[in-house]
Structure 1
Amino acid sequence: MSATVEQLLGFQTETDTTHVVAQDLTFSFLFFSDVRTDVTDAEKYGFMRDLTLFADREGFEAVYIPERHFYEFGSIFANSAVVAAHLIPQTERVRFRTAGISLPLHHPAEVVEWWAINDILSGGRVDLGFGSGWNQADFIYSPDTFDDRRAITSERIEQVRRLWRGETLSFPGPEGKDYPIRIFPRPLQPELNVWLLAASSDAAFTFAGEQGYNVFTMLYSQNFEAMGKKIERYRQGRRDAGLDPAKGTVSLMLHTLVHKDLDTVQWVVEKPFKSYIKSALEAHVNAGLAKLKGAGEVGEAEKAKMLEYAYQRYFRTSAIFGPPEQAREVVEQARAIGVNDIACVMDFGVDYDVVKDSFPYLKQLISRYV
């Protein structure tokens, strides 16, 4: 069964181990969706604040804030700039990053105005990550940009960077006229640090490297070795562009719960983590069937086996779960393939008190690195 399941789910099985090892490693928090339905939105914002204050206090590098629209899960992240503005005055050192702004939905000048304010309020602790978006309903904000969203993203990232620097750019306005504008207030940082969201596309990693961007990614159905090959494409892209291949940050999203007792971790993460996997399972299965001609339909019993298989594999090999020493093995695998920032996801449905009780063990894990 395993081979068929791996094919249907798209799991990669490469074993090549030729990678550039990242020397420096930072840890961050990534807010992803917060799927709980048994708490209020106010409690979700409170949990996000607790994680951010822990990150600020314990030497984490950044917190990543997503953009979500028109869906209950993740709805508290409808505007990342507003969320950051709430948290910034409560912190002193942690950086605020987006993962990412769906740039085709927004005018580049609008993005720079929002985040220039946050850059000032934070004392220069803002970085921006961008993606092209994918959910068609999101594009009611900008219906004409959906079809060409990837090209538009590339164009607008450079417009955002230029506006951030203080350059004057012209944009079309009323009556067919172009209006030259310069952004105020001026951000504190003269140059914007940019992240590009890249997942399964080799071309996205190469492009990010060639442009000198940092990159944010996740394993999805890939293992560490497959991801390592994509990271090497990123480093090669930098090299081809005349940039130092060792520079540039690769941020990897990993679900995280560190606790002294493995049984406790398994007990508290199984239900929410299976729900998280199940939400993506149908798309993976459909994609797998499309590649395997004559594979036929997949029944509910087989899907249940796939879910259990995927959960066990993710738990063992693709998440930071378990006691600190066991969790460190996954951290070292990530570092060995060239990851230099681990973005810990902790808002995937686990009870908030359990997450906060795990803080001392998470602190123990990262103490070797920060």
Structure 2
Amino acid sequence: MKFGIVFFPTVGGTDGEPTPTQYYDDGLHLAELADELGYFQVKLVEHYFFDYGGYSPDPITFLAAVAARTRRLRVATGAVIPAFTHPVKLAGQLAMLDNISGGRLDVGFGRAFLPDEFAAFGIPLDESRARFEEGVEACVRLWTEDDLTWNGTFHQFGPVTMLPKPAQLPHPPVFVASTGNLDSCRIAGEQGRHLQLIASVATREKVQEALGVYRRAWADAGHPAGTERIDLTFPCFLDEDRETAYRQGEYVERKMSEKMASAVSAWATVKSDQYPGYDRMASAAIGNGAGIDERVKENKILAGTPDDVRAQLTEIADWYGDGITVGLSVHSGQLPRATVERALRLFAEHVAPAFADR
């Protein structure tokens, strides 16, 4: 089992919240520390406009700065959105980042789900899956082929030869970001894509079902056994005092819900066959779940002392299988940098070593 850190900003610079400059500075410091402590990966989202992720409209820019300051830490998009960027541009940016990092890039691609983002880019929600699939395929082929002529539904170009080619050959590991949609997991497995899953938003049974569908599709398609990579993300709050960790978790998760409620509010009046059930997201964003005690009990949030979190991760490994990468969502901007730094040190020193052989 490997451990990474995940940055998902839920701040907007108001009411004493960090400015963008402060958020990025803290993030770069934490990434350097993670590299020093032996973490495997740092991952960053792509979102726009809202306090819910809006400090990260271009994860590639931030990850290039991380790559320049670190030696071992893999840099991961979690995820970039092909629907919002021409594939020639996106493939070129990612290839540059892979070279700048010395071949440490993991590329997560996602569909996006906020109606306001699609409206701003002039992209119909109902085209999201098709644009996602075309964008991913176009990027992979641009990385691996010369004189490519592309005649897609949404883009036509060529013949072109991408420069630079990625440092990793034939291309960086490609992940599909999913909240557990079974069709998305099945297609990812069939196509030999790796999987990024936000395990904290679903029940254990739903996550197990999604992973089962993905692993079966991977095997049935004839991809080499044991070569698939699965990244699972969980919020993490760690302190030597359990109550302190829980208070941090309650505060950060409440802020996350508030920020998310604003970002998804358009779903109250929007419907799309591509997003079944999302029209109920606005009403469910606040007060839609249990308190932190129950969410910790269900292993949707990692929180408590090092002993507590170690026990949670042992159960998670039993549930979902060894060999996964657990992404610790630690940098929302809602906690002081020193608090997050302390948690990262506690985890690296007192939790991670117990899973070195798993």
Please give the TM-score of this superposition, normalised by the length of structure 1: 0.81
Tell me, yes or no, if structure 1 residue 312 matches structure 2 residue 312: no
1:149 is paired with a residue whose SS is helix
**Distance between the aligned counterparts of 1:334 and 1:177, measured in 2?**
45
Measured in 1, the distance between the counterparts of 2:202 and 2:54 equals 27
Residue 342 (str. 1) matches residue 321 (str. 2): no
Q: Which moved more, 1:90-99 or 1:159-168?
A: 159-168
Corresponding residue number in structure 1 for 2:280? none
1:217 match: 197
Give the drift of 1:280. 5.3
Indicate which of 138, 161, 167 corresponds to 1:159. 138
Aligned to 1:294: none
Does the residue aligned with 1:69 lie in a helix, a strand or coil? coil
- Comparing 204-213 with 329-338, greater Cα deviation is found at 329-338
Q: 1:82 aligns with which of 44, 47, 61?
A: 61
Supply the distance in 1 between the matched residues of 2:202 and 2:53 (Cα, whole angstroms).
24
Equivalent of residue 253 in structure 2, options 231, 255, 273: 273
- Residues 41-74 of structure 1: per-residue CA shift (max 9 Å, x gap): 1110111112211221122111111111111332
Q: Could you tell me how far 1:204 is from its partner in structure 2?
A: 1.1
Q: 1:272 to 1:187 in 2, by over 3 A?
A: same
Report whether the alignment pairs 1:235 with 2:215.
yes
Distance 1:281 1:79 in 2: 22
Quick check: 2:50–2:259 contact (8 Å CA) kept in 1?
A: no
Indicate how the Cα distance of structure 1 residues 260 and 131 shifts in structure 2: closer, same or farther if over 3 A, else same: same
Contact 1:254 1:319 in 2 (8 A): yes
The CA RMSD measured in Å over matched residues stands at 2.9
For residues 326-365 of structure 1, the aligned pairs below 5 Å read 326-336=308-318, 337-338=320-321, 340-348=324-332, 349-363=334-348, 364-365=350-351
Match of 2:92 in 1: 113
Q: Letter of the aligned partner of 1:359 in structure 2?
A: L
3-state DSSP of counterpart to 2:338? helix
Paired with 2:156 and 2:44, the residues of 1 have a C-alpha distance of 36
Q: Which has the higher contact order (CA 8 A, sep 6+)?
A: 1
Corresponding residue SS for 2:91? helix
Distance 1:77 1:64 in 2: 11
What is the aligned counterpart of 2:178 among 164, 182, 198?
198
The separation in 2 between residues aligned to 1:244 and 1:186, in whole angstroms, is: 25
* Structure-2 separation of matches of 1:277 and 1:70: 16
Q: 3-state SS of the aligned residue for 1:346? A: strand
Alpha-carbon separation, structure 2, partners of 1:197 and 1:311: 25
Per the normalisation by structure 2, the TM-score is: 0.84
Letter in 2 for 1:354: T
Matched, 1:226 2:206: yes
Query: 1:126 matched to which residue of 2?
Result: 105
- Residues 42-81 of structure 1: matches in 2 within 5 Å? 42-81=21-60
1:94 aligns with 2:73: yes
Q: Measure how far apart 1:144 and its partner are.
A: 4.1
C-alpha displacement of 1:360: 2.6
Q: 1:138 to 1:71 in 2, by over 3 A?
A: same
Query: What is the identity percentage for the equivalent residue pairs of Structure 1 and Structure 2?
Result: 20
Counterpart residue identity of residue 267, structure 1: R
Instruction: Tell me: CA distance 1:142–1:158, structure 2 relative to 1, closer, same or farther (3 Å).
Output: same
Q: Which ranges in structure 2 are unaligned for 5 or more consecutive residues? A: 278-282
Partner Cα separation in structure 2 for residue 312 and residue 177 of structure 1: 52
* Counterpart position of 2:129: 150
The residue matched to 2:331 in structure 1 has which SS? coil
C-alpha displacement of 1:275: 2.6
Secondary structure of the 1:256 match is strand
* Kept after mapping to 2: 8 A contact 1:231/1:338: no
Distance apart, 1:359 and its partner CA: 2.8
CA drift of 1:186 comes to: 2.2
* Residue type of the alignment partner of 1:196: V
For 1:347, the aligned partner's letter is H
Q: Look up the equivalent residue of 1:31 and give its one-letter code.
A: F
- Rounded Cα–Cα distance in structure 1 between residues aligned with 2:119 and 2:261: 27
CA deviations on 1:292-338 (whole Å, 9 max, x unpaired) are xxxxxx9xxxx76x65x343322333111111111012212222213
Do the aligned partners of 1:124 and 1:188 also contact (CA within 8 Å) in 2? Answer: yes
**SS at structure 2 position matched to 1:99:** strand
Structure 1's unaligned 5+ residue stretches are 1-24, 292-297
Call closer, same or farther: CA 1:97–1:263 in 2, change over 3 Å: same
Q: Deviations over 1:177-203 (max 9, x none)?
A: 853111112221122210101113111
Secondary structure of the structure 2 residue equivalent to 1:367: helix
Indicate if the aligned counterparts of 2:197 and 2:231 stay in contact, CA closer than 8 A: yes
- Cα deviation for residue 220 of structure 1 reads 4.4
Asked if the contact 2:52/2:256 (under 8 Å) is kept, the reply is no
Change (3 A) 1:281 1:338: farther
Q: Secondary structure at the match of 1:77?
A: coil
Tell me, yes or no, if the aligned pair for 2:10 and 2:259 is still in contact at 8 Å.
no
The amino acid of 2:83's aligned partner reads P
